[in-house]
Chain A
Amino acid sequence: MIEIAVLVIGLLLPLVLQDYLTVYATRVLILCLFALSFDLVWGYAGIMSFGQAVFFGSAGYGVALLARDLGITSILLVLPAGILIGFAFALLLGGFLLLGRHPASVIFVALGTLTGSYACDRLARGWYYLGGQNGIPSIPPMTIGSYELTEGPAYYYMAIGFLIVVYLLCRFLMRSQFGLALAGLRENEQRIAFFGYKVQHLKAIIFSLSGAIAGLAGSLYAFHEGFVWPNMLGVVISTQVVLYVLFGGSGTLIGAVIGTVVIEAVSFWLSNSYQDIWPIILGVLLLLVILFRPAGLVSLLLSERERVGSFGRPGKR
């Protein structure tokens, strides 16, 4: 029900919004896509990834380089390239952190991904070819045939299209046998291992998939903004997406979307008048949610039963 309501609002929004708000809304949609990618790893599989921005940013940088140096802007090439880059980076990082003889502890994965994000940020800042501190400005717009996609309603509808497709794919995936096994990982990893699942492989697969989604979001973001900069890879964006998902409710796909929209909308609304105290309020709200509503905002609207794999039992986390 909520999903349909959100969808209808999303489809009608550009008709009522002014142009500059549509641009802002497009950005939020792309961030929703990014939040979904984090929700898959943390909300479903219970892998704490503090480095989701690595895949988001590397795909952004990748497509920016394609556009700048090779003049490739066709949507048929750049988006698959972005997805592939995100996937490849996630496969590398996830494969390294998650696979191997010693099963990785949750803390190790969290720190490893966080450090990865910090390292990528530093590298991008110091690398002249990537534009150093300033990033890569004025990326040419994405093209479909000879039509140039610039920010505005057209881009908005493309972004929402991608969001719907990815959302449905995730939804299908999470309700399949694979998704149930993942939810089992989150609830009780040892038991899933005793069932004969290759726990580490499952984790590596979902981690790479989420990297691919983050890559898609990153490439859409790069073309929408028209530039990429080192922050896109860094710790700030990595933790931002954690905030979105925790706030909205991890372990439900719609929670990630709601969390992103609410945080971004409130921050847009407050940033004019209360720019200084907004981050403080955000911190306090987050703390309250963690303390008193561990299932996130969405738990105000949905019953716990909606979380795949928890089957009506209150979550233990």
Chain B
Amino acid sequence: MAVFEIASFGAIVVLVVLGLGIIASMMGIFNFAQGEFVLLGAYVTYIAYTAGLPVWVGMIAAPFVVGALGFVLERLIVRRFYAAPIVAMLGTYALGLIIREIVRGLIGGLYLSVPEPVGGSVTIGGMHFSTWRLVIIVITALVMAGSYLLLARTAFGLRIRASLENPALARASGISTNAIYGATFAFGAALAGLAGALIVPVFTLFADLGIRFLIQGFVAVMVGGIGSFAGPVAGAGLIGTLSAALPWVISPVIADVAVFVLAIIFIKFRPQGLVAGKGV
């Protein structure tokens, strides 16, 4: 039972971190608005639900809506920041602040809940598992595999990796790095939107939903190592598992803090992260 809890929470963290990791690895930008993209995904699902649509419609719509918004923001604002990573952090922080406060204004200081589209539980070998959490684990695995295939096996993925590795040469080869960056950012945002949509039945919807995941996500990306696909995923798996497993052993508050402190110490002594090197 504990193992299932841990696995499902780990899956959630991986899902959240995937988008962050792709943007950080492929574009070298630490997107402080990522947590708010998660929030937006959750909010879109909530709107669809209150409009009387089935919950899963909202969940399917969320990544597209958030991805589109991410694309627009990238075109208008984020693309100005590529030269300076710190300015990018501050700029995306400001973006995140705007999104968060708008959502706060829309929902008020409330904690809203959305039901699971698939309720109930599955019994395997005498143990009950929440169906929805199983679904999350499965979708996470699918999304991970899909993203990997997209980056590693398709022509589009090849272009993305080329723009990352050597932008000048990529441009000389006729790849529009500008468009690639826009698409990558939108893709990362869409993943965050999907994560938000999927987790909203598990967590409730509130304006500060994103902040917690943001810090967790950054730490996971750093632990895993920037620059590769496997790095952030590995880091997210580790951080998610630890965050879910430690509270079974020690008090939750200490566990929460301990994970972060351990992670920072780890990064201090191994700055390149778990998985060193670039590429997929």
Contact = CB atoms under 8 A, between A and B. Distances in A.
A280 B98 contact: yes
A128 to B, nearest CB: 11
Contacts of B257: 119, 122-123
A110 B89 contact: yes
Range for the number of chain A residues in contact with chain B? 35 or more
A280 B218 CA distance: 24
B84 interface: yes
Given A119-B261, A287-B77, A291-B80, A280 B253 contact: no
B260 A118 contact: yes
Contact of A122 (B86, B97, B104, B253): B253
B271 A246 contact: no
Nearest to A103: B271
B18 to A, nearest CB: 18
A112 B90 CA distance: 16
A290 B91 contact: yes
A198 interface: no
A108 B267 contact: yes
Given A115-B264, A125-B253, A294 B94 contact: no
Contacts of A119: 257, 260-261
Contacts, number: 98
Interface stretch (A94-102, A201-209, A218-226): A94-102
B105 A108 contact: no
Interface in A233-280: 235, 239, 242, 246, 276-277, 279-280
B85 A283 contact: no
A112 B264 contact: yes
Contacts of B264: 111-112, 115-116
A276 B271 CA distance: 41
Interface string B210-226: 01000100110010000
A97 B268 contact: yes
Contact of B215 (A100, A114, A317): A114
B271 A291 contact: no
Contacts of B218: 111, 114
A279 B254 CA distance: 32
A295 B256 CA distance: 38
A284 B251 CA distance: 40
A189 to B, nearest CB: 13
A294 B81 CA distance: 12
Main secondary structure on chain B at its contact with chain A?
helix
Most buried by B among A104, A111, A123, A126: A111
A283 B89 contact: no
B93 interface: yes
B102 interface: yes
A160 interface: no
B169 interface: no
B32 to A, nearest CB: 9
A100 B97 contact: no
Contacts of A239: 93
B95 interface: yes
A106 B91 contact: no
A124 B276 CA distance: 36
B135 interface: no
A97 B195 CA distance: 32
Closest 10 pairs between A and B when the two form their complex, measured CB to CB: A126-B253, A283-B98, A283-B97, A279-B101, A287-B94, A286-B94, A119-B257, A280-B101, A276-B105, A115-B260
Interface of B: 30, 77, 80, 84-87, 89-91, 93-95, 97-98, 101-102, 104-105, 211, 215, 218-219, 222, 251, 253-254, 256-257, 260-261, 263-264, 267-269, 271
16 contacts: A107-B85, A108-B222, A114-B215, A115-B260, A116-B264, A122-B256, A122-B257, A235-B211, A242-B90, A279-B104, A280-B102, A283-B95, A284-B94, A287-B95, A290-B90, A290-B94
Interface of A: 48, 96-97, 100, 102, 104-108, 110-112, 114-116, 118-119, 122-123, 125-126, 235, 239, 242, 246, 276-277, 279-280, 282-284, 286-287, 290-291, 294, 317
